[in-house]
C-alpha cells in the first residue's frame, strides 16, 4: 500500500515532482535481515528489539547514537513556553522537555538525492 506524505509524518506539500512514498515496516526489516544474514525471523526480531532498547537507554542517559552511513540520534532540551488552548482560549504553560533529533550523514543525504 502506498501512503501520502502526510500519512508518513511529512509536512511537505504534494508538488509536481511528488514521488510516491511507502512506509517500511518492522516486519519488512525482519524479513530483510533474516534473508540477508541467514537468521530466523525470531532472531532478526530480537536483533531489532535489542537495537531499539540500546538506543533508548543511550538516549535517555544523555548519550548520542552515531551510526556511520546513517546519521546521529541525539536529544536536545526544548525550552518551556506559553501556549493557548484553542477551545477555551486559556493560556497554558508547556514545560521544557527533551526531544529526539536525527541528523542524517553526508552519505545518506547523497544516497537519497540520487534519483
Mapping DSSP to helix (H, G, I), strand (E, B) and coil, where does residue 65 land?
A: strand
pLDDT of 115: 60
Whole-number pLDDT of residue 22: 87
Please tell me the predicted confidence (pLDDT) of residue 114. Answer: 84
Q: Are 82 and 97 in contact (CB under 8 A)?
A: no
Which stretches of the chain drop beneath a pLDDT of 50?
A: 1-7, 10, 12-16
* 87-105 confidence digits (pLDDT tens): 999 999 999 999 999 999 9
Q: Model's pTM, two decimal places?
A: 0.68
Using a 10 angstrom Cβ sphere, with 0-12 exposed, 13-18 middle and 19 or more buried, the burial of residue 39 is middle
Residue position matching grid coordinates 500500500: 1
Q: What integer pLDDT is reported at residue 61 of this predicted model?
A: 93
Question: What are the residue ranges spanned by the domains of the chain?
Answer: 1-62
- Cβ–Cβ under 8 Å, residues 35 and 51: no
* pLDDT score recorded for residue 2: 37
Q: Is 106 exposed, middle or buried (0-12, 13-18, 19+ CB in 10 A)?
A: exposed
Q: How many CA atoms lie within 13 A of 72 on its CB side?
A: 8
Amino acid at each position: 500500500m502506498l501512503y501520502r506524505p502526510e500519512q508518513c509524518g511529512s509536512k511537505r506539500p504534494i508538488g509536481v515532482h511528488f514521488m510516491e512514498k511507502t512506509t517500511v515496516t518492522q516486519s519488512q526489516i525482519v524479513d530483510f535481515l533474516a534473508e540477508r544474514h541467514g537468521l530466523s525471523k525470531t532472531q532478526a526480531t530480537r536483533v531489532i528489539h535489542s537495537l531499539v532498547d540500546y538506543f533508548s537507554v543511550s538516549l535517555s542517559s544523555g548519550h548520542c547514537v552515531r551510526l556511520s552511513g546513517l546519521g546521529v540520534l541525539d536529544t536536545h532540551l526544548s525550552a518551556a513556553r506559553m501556549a493557548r488552548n484553542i477551545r477555551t482560549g486559556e493560556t497554558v504553560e508547556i514545560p521544557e522537555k527533551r526531544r529526539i533529533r536525527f541528523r542524517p550523514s553526508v552519505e545518506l543525504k547523497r544516497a537519497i538525492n540520487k534519483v
